[in-house]
Amino acid sequence: MASVSTMILRAMRFTGEKTRGATLDSTEAVECLAELNTFMESCQTERLMCYSIQQDSFALTANVSTYTIGPSAAINVARPTKLVDPVFVRDASGYDSPLEIITLEQYGAIGVKSVGLTWPTHIYYDYGYSATSTASITIYPAPVAALTLYFSSWKQLQSFGSLTTQVLLPPGYQLFIESNFAIHLAAGLVPISPELAKIARESRAAVKSLNIVDDTVQTLDYGVLPTYRGSSILTGP
């Protein structure tokens, strides 16, 4: 665990802007904290920077289809960067029904959006961003009975409120942040050494390798694969 100020100073030592034991002056403190949060925000657009998928739940109201989502919104969670499967609704008896995540174009193509069914079938997330960091999700069709929505979303690297914030990160993330933020902070000001470039590149690759989804594909030996006999307009079935 390290403080935000310690991580910034380590980043600046990577580029030679600071020596060991140095501190940040008031101007550096303000500017570097803002720059660090900008860098952290940029990481949120990369799936392989996401270190977990977080599942949240929310009690839906019958006949209501759209809800705001974000801090202090109707669904009071951190604004999701992206919804991912599984997304489903659960009734009072514990039965689940999956929802398909659709795009704006797919949602717009639905001609009648007010038809109510007990079980919704689709969910649309608008990815909007307001001054209060809120977006909205729409359930289609609006359920006629109260259900609980379960949705999964990317768990992203956080931003930091102050230099004294204590940061607890998964293994490998601190070096990734410090070395890559050093390059971000030095852009246009000081040259980057080959050693720093190597550390930044390798630490980024290491973090991404941890977050690659392990899709286990089951295969059959060639000898037991089913034989496909297709048809042809020339030879017949």
Query: What mean pLDDT comes out for the span 24-31?
Result: 92
Instruction: Please report which confidence band the pLDDT of residue 218 belongs to, taking 50, 70 and 90 as the band edges.
Output: very low
Instruction: Please report which confidence band the pLDDT of residue 232 belongs to, taking 50, 70 and 90 as the band edges.
Output: very low
Residues 160, 158: Cα–Cα separation, whole Å: 7
Query: What mean pLDDT comes out for the span 161-180?
Result: 88
The domains of the chain are located at 2-48+158-211, 52-155
Is the pLDDT at 193 greater than 70, yes or no?
yes
pLDDT in tens, 53-80: 788 999 999 999 999 998 889 999 878 8
pLDDT in tens, 128-168: 766 566 889 999 998 888 899 999 887 666 778 899 988 87
pLDDT in tens, 70-120: 888 999 987 887 888 899 999 999 999 999 999 888 988 888 877 666 689
Question: What average pLDDT does the structure give for the chain?
Answer: 83
